[in-house]
Structure 1
Amino acid sequence: MTRTLVIAPQWIGDAVMTEPLLRRLHARGEQLTVGAVPWVAPVYRAMPQVGAVVEFPFQHGGLQFAARRRLARELDGRFDAAYVLPNSLKSALLPFLAGIPRRVGYLGEARVGLLTHRLRNPKGKPPMVAFYSALSGDTAGLEQDVPRLQLAAAAIDGALAQQGLARGGYLVFAPGAEFGPSKRWPEAHYAQLAAGQALPVLLLGSAKDAPVAEAIVQASGGRARNLAGRTGLAEAFALIAGARAMVSNDSGLMHVAAAFGVPQVALFGSSSPLHTPPLNEHAQILWLKQDPAYQPPLDCAPCFQRECPLGHHRCLVDLGPARVAQALQAASRS
């Protein structure tokens, strides 16, 4: 059996989209260990094909060479192959230093010598699930790959009990987006949407999202509960998995909801559902770029910028709460 180390991306949404790759590797007999930073590790603990998760002591930014060399010494001789999912030089450094014989990844950041099996990066922005799955070397059926996460029923029920909730008896809104403001539907819109719901609304996200979530609570007249930054990621997963439906920006939690098959409304503006869609048959995707009735057309979208370069943020500001409420109602019936 091939002992395989997978170097995970550092973003939650990207991590979710790697699940079909890991399923492919496991199906052909590879024994999988995933190396991931702590804030991404819970994603891989929700993948039954992963045998073990090693939490890396790394942070965003910086080479952190000494820390990588120390960890490489601990991993020396433990693996036969490594798949390097991020395109950075530093992510390929650890398998190289650990002397793993087979090291697979895409070309990028002058790391040719660090990889033994190299794929060329595709042009443009291809669907990310297929991008990761192609690293398996098997290109058959890439377009059918759909991420799936699993949690034990006891984990879901335990998290709900702590919050005094029942399965399907509440909604989740995820108003944050780690990438930047250009991905965020306005908080006033979220507040208006929450105020019109019959079911309780939970606001989930990181500690960075807590001020926005609190503003939504206040503007909605207390019709939402702010849990942003007050749950661990594993608990947030359980709350999403037990929800009746979820509304979110294009974010990591959007992909989590999709991977659990939760009915959802996904709001796109500066980014594109052609690149990172929620792969969920119960998803309602709203993107004004694709609406022929919306005038003037959004020729600027998708810009993929952290902040609106034109200063108007029309792509999300003009996506009104009434339209999202209608999509939420449709998703909740699916």
Structure 2
Amino acid sequence: MVGPSWVGDMVMAQSLLKTLRERDPSVVLDVLAPGWSLPIIERMPEARQGFDLPAGHGELGWGKRRRVAEQLKSIGYDQAIVLPRTLKSALVPWFAGIPQRTGFLGESRFGLINDRRPFDAEHLPQTVQRYVALGLPPAAARPPRVPHPALTVDGKRQAALMDELGLDHNERFVGFMPGAEYGPAKQWPVAHFAALARALGRRGQRVLIFGSPKDAEVGGAIVDASGDVAVNLCGRTQLADVIDLLALCEMAVTNDSGLMHVAAAVGTPLVAIYGSSTPGFTPPLSDAARILHLDLACSPCFERRCPLGHTQCLTRIGVREVLEQLPDTRASDPQPA
């Protein structure tokens, strides 16, 4: 499988691997993807191994792709399923001479993809449905049944991380994911996150804030506004660490982001907040997920920044609404300040 370039999409790609394994328990599944995603692939029991595609995002990397193809050619794959619809994503399987190269029509890649499937957004509205469909016969039902991702958790590493980060093993944790790589039109306000943290602190819970180094400033602002209730882990952990730490959390509150899908895949109950995007396209794949989406007339707009300048699709989702959706919320809980 040639995997996608985003964290959430890579997690959702496990649904395809699970589908392939269900259809043929003896199938050998390897994944070619950007190096940052290898820790996720290592947590997928269905995948034998992951191969690093060193070409950067948007880079053609002709020579790099040829070198990877030479490595794969000796393995002798029967089929490559190419999830991205770009021309460059289909180059390695073609260079490697893999006989069946399956993918959706896109970017004039005739010849590179020889098992071409029509791209049907109406009958496959969700990203994960599109992935799973590529692992089924062309005439299979639309939309297909989608098995939920389920990443494995390293218990020993989990305990070690708590010690390394100075976390109390007896505390009750709630995960916050306030970032969104796509842009601020997908980010619930910092002030709302901070008020929610204070309310959770009064319930005896501790907030762990997860994200990349780019989210460190946002995480710091939440800590400053909520006191010692929250711990800013943005940029202090690797992706594999976040998988293990999110599994420790009693619950999580998140924007529509890659880490939302990680939380869902480790079984953490979560509240997912949608602004400029829609849960109809990339929902959290978990029975323990609750979704807050106002469905305003101007949304979803899928813009990185609110074109109207008010981001009401996010600001009008209040702290009380989120608190009421969290598991085990009691009527006697202190109300948010």
Q: Is residue 189 of structure 2 the alignment partner of residue 182 of structure 1?
A: no
Report the RMSD for the aligned CA atoms in angstroms: 1.9
Normalised TM-score (structure 2): 0.90
The residue type equivalent to 1:65 in the other structure is W
The aligned counterpart of 2:69 is 72
Q: Classify the secondary structure of the residue corresponding to 1:182.
A: helix
Cα distance change of structure 1 residues 132 and 144 upon mapping to structure 2, 3 Å threshold = closer
Q: Classify the secondary structure of the residue corresponding to 1:40.
A: helix
CA positional deviation for 1:276? 1.0
Deviations, residues 187-238 of structure 1 (Å, cap 9, x unaligned): 1111111122131111101111111111111122242111101100000110
The aligned counterpart of 2:198 is 195
State how far apart, in whole Å, the 1-side matches of 2:114 and 2:241 are: 39
State how far apart, in whole Å, the 2-side matches of 1:285 and 1:166 are: 29
Match of 1:320 among 318, 321, 331: 318
The aligned counterpart of 1:310 is 308
The aligned counterpart of 1:295 is none
The aligned counterpart of 1:111 is 109
The aligned counterpart of 2:286 is 280
Query: Could you list the runs of 5+ residues in structure 2 that have no partner in the other structure?
Result: 331-337
State how far apart, in whole Å, the 1-side matches of 2:104 and 2:256 are: 25
Query: Could you list the runs of 5+ residues in structure 1 that have no partner in the other structure?
Result: 1-5, 290-297
Q: Is residue 177 of structure 2 the alignment partner of residue 150 of structure 1?
A: no
The aligned counterpart of 2:127 is 128
Cα distance change of structure 1 residues 235 and 167 upon mapping to structure 2, 3 Å threshold = farther
Q: Once superposed, which parts of structure 1, at least 4 consecutive aligned residues long, lie more than 4 Å away?
A: 329-332
Cα distance change of structure 1 residues 77 and 205 upon mapping to structure 2, 3 Å threshold = same
CA positional deviation for 1:158? 2.9
Q: Classify the secondary structure of the residue corresponding to 2:291.
A: strand
Indicate conservation of the 8 Å contact 2:15/2:146, yes or no: no
The aligned counterpart of 2:215 is 209
The aligned counterpart of 1:224 is 230
Deviations, residues 157-196 of structure 1 (Å, cap 9, x unaligned): 3333333243872111000011111100011111111122
Q: Is residue 272 of structure 2 the alignment partner of residue 269 of structure 1?
A: no
Q: Classify the secondary structure of the residue corresponding to 1:278.
A: coil
State how far apart, in whole Å, the 2-side matches of 1:206 and 1:180 are: 14
State how far apart, in whole Å, the 2-side matches of 1:165 and 1:32 are: 39
Normalised TM-score (structure 1): 0.91
- Larger mean CA deviation between 121-130 and 7-16 belongs to 121-130
Q: Equivalent pairs: percent with the same residue?
A: 44
Deviations, residues 311-330 of structure 1 (Å, cap 9, x unaligned): 11000011111211221245
The aligned counterpart of 1:43 is 40
